[in-house]
Amino acid sequence: MEIISTLAGWEFLLRFVHFLAGVCWIGVLWYFNLIQTPFFGTELGGQAKSAITRGLVPNALWWFRWGAMFTFLSGWFIVLMKLHSGIGLGDGYMTRVLTGGLMGTLMWANVWFVIWPAQKIVIANAENVAAGGEANPEAAARAGRAGMASRTNTLFSIPMLFFMGSASHLPWFNAGSSDMAYWLIAGLIILFAEAQALIGPGSATQKPLTSVSGTIHAGLGLTLILFLVGAIVNS
């Protein structure tokens, strides 16, 4: 069976895992940001917030963080296989994949090192309050930090998917090779966007992320900016 006896077969299986895990991860991410968070802002959602936080959110976060982990691991294994097959780091295809991979890696780090630790505190606080205990004064601030990191991931998900797709389906965009100028400009732009996940909520630069429409528009805007950087630098 060539699917398990050839390198191409193993690469396909890794891609299959990557797609499955990615659909799970990004699907739950969009559920949190496009559906659940706006619902919590309604009167009915406010009444149900404690029960949902204690009952539904822990299960959703399990699929969320492990979807992120398997997407992250399978993606970088695919990159290593591409490098092993002779595709260099400076190749246009690899540049687009690594641009998406950089954003995906930051998203994974946000999940495991910002969102999940904060949500554990939020969930424990909801359970404690429901049992008649005192509210943890730290919970609200940690919820805000987790929310901003999650919105940043939603923003990143748009250009990340664009660049992953463009690597195989926009061959004219991948003409030429990457250079230091591209990575310097694109890297600084991406790191500026990531900084919004790490600084405390309330910064003026985070304003677009305070609404669903603002987050989507910011993601589309970042996609366009990075596309233009790539098109101009490599023209």
Q: What is the pLDDT of residue 8?
A: 85
Q: What is the DSSP letter of 138?
A: T
Indicate the DSSP class of residue 178.
Answer: -
β-strand partners of 164: none
Q: How much is the pLDDT for 205?
A: 80
**Rounded CA separation 199/207 (Å):** 13
pLDDT at 156: 98
Beta bridge partners of 91: 177
Residue-level pLDDT at 196: 87
Q: CB-based contacts of 152: which residues, under 8 Å, 6+ apart? A: 110, 193, 194, 196, 197, 209
Please give the angle made by the CA atoms of 77, 168 and 65, to the nearest 5 degrees: 40
Residue 4: the pLDDT is 81
With a cut of 50, list the residues of the chain below it in pLDDT.
none
CA 230 to chain centroid, in Å, comes to 21
Say whether 229 sits in a helix, a strand or coil: helix
Q: What is the per-residue pLDDT for 178?
A: 60
**Per-residue model confidence (pLDDT) at position 235:** 64
Residue 174 pLDDT: 72
Q: What is the pTM of this model?
A: 0.94
